[in-house]
Chain A
């Protein structure tokens, strides 16, 4: 058992968060909060013409798990297509972080929700039908179950 309740991966992302900051030319911005503890995550993405995430940044107010989940999510998102991004589950983030304590799983859920919120923003700005996002999300959930 380690000297931290968090895995080495979580500690690494907490200490050296990847892709932290604002993104001036973001065209997909999602901000979500966790009512359980007040954490807030803001996700910025720049989605190119071919529906690929060209750049991604985050800002997060929260605990070690929230910061690490945000950082890891940006790593997993970079270069992905929209349909791949919407398929990013909190479990994938948890796995990539070598696990989170049970009480902190909600931090990874927040990251998943931030992706969805940012994509909704992108669709809204592009004048596309937001229902598409919900459909894709539902399809992902259905295959999981």
Chain B
């Protein structure tokens, strides 16, 4: 099996799995139970994980990290948590890019009904926000800018440092969705001048069920849940100790080892892109080829449809992802719920057709043999589908 759908979640590092296991089997104490060792050790473990995540993100203090359950929750806690403060300040305008994740887009779609105004910055074919466009879009009543550090579908990396500078100068709160980038490129909250940063363990070799939000001292958040004051009241509810411990170990491994494996992933990504780019003149890469995550290759192929590509790769034991409408929501109850990716639409992929889009995202475990195998089977798959395609004429 060749797993190249790492944007959907990485294989947990065995060292993470080993660290997590005792917190499921024997160390089951509730971290709020401070007065017996079984509980207190859970509390101590969570605080150690907090310090590890803070170090990974270059956060000045561990207490600036709040644990949540996943990236979507971190994004919701960050944005919805900040809005009451913004309202008090008389602000009602928000800026995002048109390629933000659903957990950002859908929050703002609802906010429009509550009188908020949202500007979506265009990205063009490169997928990259022009910082000058951001400068022009900022108004006196702009409360928040939310632009991801990198995009999971097209792999492009934004100029987050420049965006952060602009936000700081304008006195606007800057949220960075770093779920796709963390574990692949450095996520430095201070270098980005970021006020709020979301990361999720499942994207950097941790286990599903733990994520975090960095909150700068500048930001006053209102919690989404009311409860027993866990996470300093910002995220009440019993903590997922095992997953959080795993996230701490995963963060340590990123801090110690990413500089070693990321360049190798980047090299494999280039090898993949060179190989597949030469195969067909009707294959088009999506997003910038230079400012992109290591080991991320995304493209669409004319005359063939994404779900069919995805299925044929899977039949060859190669697991990747597609952004075509057809593959978007197989569990939907209505064809109306099949929608082509808003990210691909933004970078100019013709989504009035079921574009044959594919995304291959590697991990630190991906080998050159894996990439070569994908390259080897690709012509057969594409030829099979073009032979079937009514408008293929080459």
The answer to whether A38 and B352 touch across the interface, beta carbons within 8 angstroms, is yes
Tell me the B333-347 residues at the A interface (CB within 8 Å): 333-338, 340
Residue B390 interfacial (CB < 8 Å): yes
The answer to whether A14 and B389 touch across the interface, beta carbons within 8 angstroms, is no
CB distance from B321 to the nearest CB of A (A): 15
Digit string of B327-361 for contact with A (CB within 8 Å is 1, else 0)? 10111111111101000000000011111000000
Give which listed residue, B329, B387, B390, contacts A31 with CB less than 8 A: B390
Contacts of A14 in B (CB 8 A): 308, 311
Residue B315 interfacial (CB < 8 Å): yes
Give which listed residue, B308, B325, B390, contacts A37 with CB less than 8 A: B325
Contacts of B306 in A (CB 8 A): 63
Of B327, B330, B389, the most chain A CB neighbours within 10 A belong to B330
Contacts of A66 in B (CB 8 A): 305, 326
The answer to whether A5 and B331 touch across the interface, beta carbons within 8 angstroms, is yes
* Interface range, A side: 20 to 34
Residue A36 interfacial (CB < 8 Å): yes
Size of B's binding interface in residues, CB under 8 A = 33
CB distance from A10 to the nearest CB of B (A): 10
The answer to whether A61 and B389 touch across the interface, beta carbons within 8 angstroms, is yes
Contacts of B315 in A (CB 8 A): 15
Residue A42 interfacial (CB < 8 Å): yes
Residue B67 interfacial (CB < 8 Å): no
Q: Name which residue of chain B comes closest to A31, CB basis.
A: B390
The answer to whether B391 and A64 touch across the interface, beta carbons within 8 angstroms, is no
The answer to whether B389 and A63 touch across the interface, beta carbons within 8 angstroms, is no
CB distance from B332 to the nearest CB of A (A): 4
With contacts A31-B390, A39-B354, A40-B391 taken as known, whether A106 is within 8 angstroms of B308 at the C-beta atoms is no
The answer to whether A38 and B311 touch across the interface, beta carbons within 8 angstroms, is no
Tell me the B291-338 residues at the A interface (CB within 8 Å): 303-308, 311, 315, 324-327, 329-338
Contacts of A17 in B (CB 8 A): 388
Contacts of A31 in B (CB 8 A): 390
The answer to whether B334 and A102 touch across the interface, beta carbons within 8 angstroms, is yes
Give which listed residue, B303, B333, B353, B390, contacts A41 with CB less than 8 A: B390
Digit string of A24-47 for contact with B (CB within 8 Å is 1, else 0)? 000000010000111111100000
Contacts of A103 in B (CB 8 A): 329-335, 337-338
The answer to whether A37 and B311 touch across the interface, beta carbons within 8 angstroms, is no
The answer to whether B390 and A63 touch across the interface, beta carbons within 8 angstroms, is no
Give which listed residue, A5, A20, A37, A105, contacts B388 with CB less than 8 A: A20
Complex Cα–Cα for A16 and B327 (A):
20
The answer to whether B308 and A62 touch across the interface, beta carbons within 8 angstroms, is yes
Give which listed residue, B325, B352, B390, contacts A61 with CB less than 8 A: B390
Complex Cα–Cα for A143 and B331 (A):
32
Give which listed residue, B335, B388, B389, B390, contacts A36 with CB less than 8 A: B335
Complex Cα–Cα for A38 and B324 (A):
10
Contacts of A63 in B (CB 8 A): 305-308, 324, 326-327, 354
Complex Cα–Cα for A61 and B352 (A):
13
Contacts of A38 in B (CB 8 A): 325, 351-355
Contacts of B325 in A (CB 8 A): 36-38
Complex Cα–Cα for A41 and B324 (A):
17
Contacts of A88 in B (CB 8 A): none
Give which listed residue, B330, B340, B354, contacts A101 with CB less than 8 A: B330
The answer to whether A59 and B326 touch across the interface, beta carbons within 8 angstroms, is no
The answer to whether A62 and B305 touch across the interface, beta carbons within 8 angstroms, is yes
14 A-B contact pairs sorted by A residue (CB < 8 Å): A14-B308, A38-B354, A38-B355, A59-B390, A60-B389, A61-B388, A61-B390, A63-B308, A63-B327, A64-B311, A102-B332, A103-B329, A103-B331, A104-B330
Which 3 residue pairs spanning A and B have beta carbons closest together? A38-B353, A63-B326, A63-B307
Given contacts A21-B387, A60-B390, 4 further A-B contacts (CB under 8 A): A61-B389, A61-B391, A62-B305, A102-B334
